Structure 1
């Protein structure tokens, strides 16, 4: 008898992997001293991946669509949770139209899109291949997940040290959201490919299981806190984490260019 459904298992694996991503920067101390905050983070990832998993099954999303969806969602945390989209003191501080270009590239595309998107989903399917016939999430599920995300974003944005954007920055955010949302919606109008059985890929195994090892090491042995922007993070751990994110992004895109075919996630 199954205790947990295929869908819930996949969502849980994705959420736990991303919680480990948070652990790498925040350190082991925060997981014991701020348990409610960690539960809130877990809730963010569970609801996000529940929605993403539903889109994947409904529309048979390809890799580029997953990247677009992850980038679109990631715009909101980097704007309202961390404020790094508008922060001039991180990721080289190059600002264009009020937004930090380094944040958009490293966090928006590479972290949210590749590591917290494609690599995460690959790992979840590596642990338990997706049942493409599992039940879809209904309107109540979507409304509940969206409401949870909204409440957490609003509450977290009340932090007085979270960087705020300029009028130009918020306008740029709105334009980015609209443009990417239109791209996502248009892409969904094209029927997705038939589901393919999951096949392990050595390079993706390296990126996913390598991420687990690196995140555990960073969170356990680099756990001294230091305020990085509005978050109590370890600066060295964050730096090393970003180097790994850049590496993962480069390897993934080079592999995709070489193979010219989707990785089954």
Structure 2
């Protein structure tokens, strides 16, 4: 949506955004392998940090009519759910698994690694906050942001807990209660459900190819109607097209998850 012109005129911005995404995905990968997260858990996790990023990075939740206790609830939920959760997290992690099969036993990120990743992430967020175009929220707005992120975190915790309980019961039933529940580690309980061949979802494979082409076309050719959107300049036509496209992808993913009851491997 920002386009190649924004890359040329503001190269530091793209470098900072690259740091944010790189460190974020490193941490997400560690959480996925460490806790054997699946699709719905990843969605809630993305909503959790997305609701913070939409306020402190783009500040778009503060920009237009912050009617709900200091934030624009519609913008916050749309960006957190549609863009961060379904398009920028679940979708790319599925595509990454299709291209490069994950080794679930790879070395975990150490405490030092987590400190470095979080440090670079916070530094990048701080640099973006220094932009003159950044809109700051009210104290009530930031409190609302934290409460909404906490709500997603609680839902995530409940989802993981319920999944562990269900998997534990299945393991005990299959093993005829050979071991006591206290002897079973949660990180190994989920392993059996995750260590399986990654299934192909052809519609998502196709949408991945189209997304790559569409993003390249938008960045290179839809660059003649720039508008100011919070701390960044984006192109209006590209923004409209990408918004429609991401909603369509979310609809496909929701259909797979909640109507067809399929898992989206990550």
Normalised TM-score (structure 2): 0.83
Q: Secondary structure at the match of 1:95?
A: coil
Describe the superposition over 1:194-222 as per-residue Cα deviations: whole angstroms up to 9, x where unpaired.
Answer: 32211210121122222111111111111
Provide closer, same or farther for how the CA distance between residues 209 and 105 of structure 1 changes in structure 2, counting only shifts above 3 A: farther
Q: Which residue of 1 aligns with 2:197?
A: 197
- Unaligned segments of structure 2, at least 5 residues: 165-185
> Is the Cα contact below 8 Å between 1:106 and 1:245 reproduced in 2?
no
| 1:116 aligned onto 2:117 | no
The offset of 1:226, in angstroms, is 2.8
Q: Secondary structure at the match of 1:99?
A: coil
Q: Distance in 2 between matches of 1:239 and 1:95?
A: 24
* Aligned ranges 1:105-184 → 2 under 5 Å: 105-184=77-156
Q: Distance in 2 between matches of 1:62 and 1:208?
A: 20
Count of residues paired in the alignment: 237
Q: Distance in 2 between matches of 1:181 and 1:231?
A: 28
Normalised TM-score (structure 1): 0.83
Q: Which residue of 2 aligns with 1:11?
A: none
- Aligned pair partner of 2:29 in 49, 53, 70: 53
User: 40-49 vs 206-215, which deviates more?
Assistant: 206-215
> Is the Cα contact below 8 Å between 1:110 and 1:246 reproduced in 2?
yes
User: 140-149 vs 199-208, which deviates more?
Assistant: 199-208
The offset of 1:57, in angstroms, is 0.6
Q: Which residue of 2 aligns with 1:210?
A: 210
Q: Secondary structure at the match of 1:232?
A: strand
- Aligned pair partner of 2:40 in 41, 58, 64: 64
The offset of 1:50, in angstroms, is 0.4
Q: Distance in 2 between matches of 1:196 and 1:132?
A: 11
> Is the Cα contact below 8 Å between 1:223 and 1:234 reproduced in 2?
yes
Q: Secondary structure at the match of 2:265?
A: coil
Q: Distance in 1 between matches of 2:13 and 2:70?
A: 29
Q: Which residue of 1 aligns with 2:245?
A: 244
Q: Distance in 1 between matches of 2:149 and 2:257?
A: 26
> Is the Cα contact below 8 Å between 2:20 and 2:125 reproduced in 1?
no
Q: Which residue of 1 aligns with 2:67?
A: 95
Provide closer, same or farther for how the CA distance between residues 72 and 186 of structure 1 changes in structure 2, counting only shifts above 3 A: same
Q: Secondary structure at the match of 1:180?
A: helix
Q: Secondary structure at the match of 1:104?
A: helix
The offset of 1:239, in angstroms, is 1.5
Provide closer, same or farther for how the CA distance between residues 30 and 160 of structure 1 changes in structure 2, counting only shifts above 3 A: closer
| 1:83 aligned onto 2:59 | yes
Q: Secondary structure at the match of 1:227?
A: strand
The offset of 1:186, in angstroms, is 4.2
* Aligned ranges 1:34-45 → 2 under 5 Å: 34-45=10-21
> Is the Cα contact below 8 Å between 2:17 and 2:124 reproduced in 1?
no
